[in-house]
Amino acid sequence: MISQWKLKRKISRENIKSKKIQKEIQSHLNLFSFNLNTLKEFKRSEILFILGSGSSICDLNERQWQEIRRNDSLGINHWLIHPHVPNFYTCEVPRLENHREVMMCNLKKRAKDYKNTAFLFKGGSDFDEKFAKTLKEITASGNRSMFIPTYFTVSDESQFIYLLKKYDQITQKMRINMPDALFRKRASVVFSTMLGYDLNFKNIVFCGVDGIAGSGYFYEHPKQRFADGTIIPENTGQKKGAIHKTMDPKLNQLTAEKCLQLINSHLFKKKGVRMWVGTKNSILSKWLPDWKWDL
């Protein structure tokens, strides 16, 4: 009962806070609230490939990319520099100033390419007038596939487990008054995974979600080609040779990997949703099966 009360209070507080940010951004961009049915219009299969920034992305061959293109895919943050255009994309304002400048340039450069992509912008405290101007340029050019969700989250593992066990029941009631509320916690890959569940995908395949020490980013790899005119991020803030920050239990016991394990155990397995690893060199490979590519 205590967990239930605390969770309800946490959800309400976070949603009110994010609603304020959402309204501010929407007023800048002349956009309106949405519900999940709007996002489902962008869906075309039962398989969602979540495309992370790990260097293992470079190991995907052309047949595998063909399979990704036949289904659904979701790019995260700096995915804009990759030639593949996903049908879902999510980003937030980078904390590092140089990354912020790079993302704004790449957003403008790829705006036309991403015109038919469901674009989810997660607003936050780093949102400023300069970033607002960039997004306004995109929407003014005719890109109306941009969505600014409100969100809810949890405080700790016990709340997370409680939420997952009663997720459908809790969200069904919650979304009567908060139809655009999406779950977020710890990392974009967790947000993307829960979005995949909300959109009723039956298979979620992680590609480039490496996370292990020294794995690096695809845009640092000499084999990688980039979309024309895009700018490559520098100075990631990630210590060379270290485990990815979102996967490091020394920084937070509830790592992104732990969140995915809890989602898998307390929600997905019960609902018949499966997680897979699509690329090698992933921290997830020790407990998730390899995706059976159609080769």
What pLDDT score does 31 carry? 83
190 phi and psi, to 5 degrees?
Answer: -70, -45
What pLDDT score does 223 carry? 83
154 phi and psi, to 5 degrees?
Answer: -130, 165
Half-sphere exposure of 130 (CA within 13 A, CB side): 10
What pLDDT score does 238 carry? 61
Where residue 23 falls (left for φ over 0; alpha for ψ -120 to 50; beta otherwise) is alpha
Q: What is the pLDDT along the chain (295 residues), one digit of tens a residue?
A: 557 888 989 998 999 989 988 888 888 788 888 899 999 999 999 999 999 999 999 999 999 999 999 999 999 999 999 999 999 999 988 888 888 899 999 999 999 899 899 999 987 767 777 888 888 888 876 666 889 999 999 999 999 999 999 999 999 999 999 999 999 998 999 999 999 999 999 999 999 999 888 888 999 988 899 999 999 998 666 666 667 778 887 778 899 999 999 999 999 999 999 999 999 999 999 999 999 998 6
**Burial profile 162-192: b = 16 or more Cβ within 10 angstroms, e = fewer:** bbbeebeebbeebeeebebbbbbbbbbbbbb
- Distances, alpha carbon 25 to alpha carbons 135, 148, 165, in Å: 9, 8, 33
What pLDDT score does 25 carry? 85
* Six token digits for residue 266: 């307390």
Q: Please check whether residue 139 is in contact with residue 170, taking contact to mean a CB–CB distance below 8 angstroms.
A: no
- Whole-angstrom distance, CA of residue 286 vs CA of residue 31: 43
